[in-house]
Amino acid sequence: LSKRMSGVWVFRNGVVRLVENPANEQSSTVRRKVLLHTPTNEVITSYASLERKLMSLGWERYYDDPDLLQFHKRSSLDLISLPKDFGRFKSMHMYDIVVKNRESFRVIDV
């Protein structure tokens, strides 16, 4: 009567659920959100394109930490810190960029 459960228990948004194939689950959540540059309606697909957009908004590269890609704006205390590898660029990083550049970026579902 009882089926053996295999997989990983995931706690997200206050709900615990069993994910039977965590590799598929993770890849589907990584692809769900993208960063959109609203003035050009362009999805950011690389750090090179993101850096160009941020520089045009007055952000400068900050070279304090060799493990991170960082941007600083002289007119503020804001600092954007991103993982060096674009493959590890997650929605939390995207939302950080949106909060600090509300008129120029937003996170969308694909």
Distances (CA, A) of 38 to 6, 24, 43, 84, 98: 42, 30, 9, 24, 10
- Full-model pTM: 0.70
Q: In the beta sheet, which residues pair with residue 73?
A: 59
Provide the pLDDT for residue 22: 55
Q: Could you read off the pLDDT of 22-62 as tens digits, one per residue?
A: 555 455 544 579 999 999 999 999 999 999 999 999 999 98
